[in-house]
Chains A and B, each alone.
Chain A
């Protein structure tokens, strides 16, 4: 079956701009997660959705970062006033429930110039 998909695969933006990153989870998965992976590091947790609600956004680095999942399926990660330090690969994952293993998408490589 189809896995987790993410668009765009690459995004280059100028410092100060706004960006949106999209995630399509595996059909039927109720739990959705965003992680961020910097060069030479493992993925780091950003936010977890159970259904439509953000159950835990404790990993978001600051209030420039926001994510939504309005219909309990597709999610969008939004970054305002981007900074060069935001450059990383943003990964989305989904799982059947919060108690199951997580499946990752291919990621969006964000470069802020």
Chain B
């Protein structure tokens, strides 16, 4: 079974600060990795995804994430956050293939508060 750990429950940053949100997963096989974002009052939106290829993936709004296979990690980064980045961020994983591969397993989420 897969599991996902997000290390920080709540992160508070000032505008223009750099962001890194940790995500580690537990799974023995090849995985697809995702970051979803939920802005206040809105639904979950896909921020970026990794299926294969370049382990550094770029998403919307200046976010990027790096897949480090040896560390089972997929940390989310942004060099300079804005107040509008205030949201809850979820890391998710599913198996690349095989039975149950469609099931997304989510972390508990990290709330990001950006102070103007």
Binding site for B on A (CB under 8 A): 3, 31, 33, 35, 40-45, 48, 56, 58-59, 91, 93, 95, 98-99, 101-107
Contacts and interface: CB of A to CB of B under 8 A. Distances in A.
B109 A42 contact: yes
9 contacts: A3-B43, A31-B102, A40-B108, A42-B106, A42-B108, A43-B90, A99-B101, A102-B46, A105-B43
Contacts of A44: 106
Most chain A CB within a 10 A radius of its CB, from B90, B101, B102, B105: B102
B103 interface: yes
A75 to B, nearest CB: 15
Nearest to A45: B103
Contacts of B92: 42
A104 B36 contact: yes
B106 A48 contact: no
B49 interface: yes
A102 B43 contact: no
Contact of A42 (B49, B102, B107): B107
Interface string B24-35: 000000000010
Given A41-B108, A103-B46, A104-B44, A59 B103 contact: yes
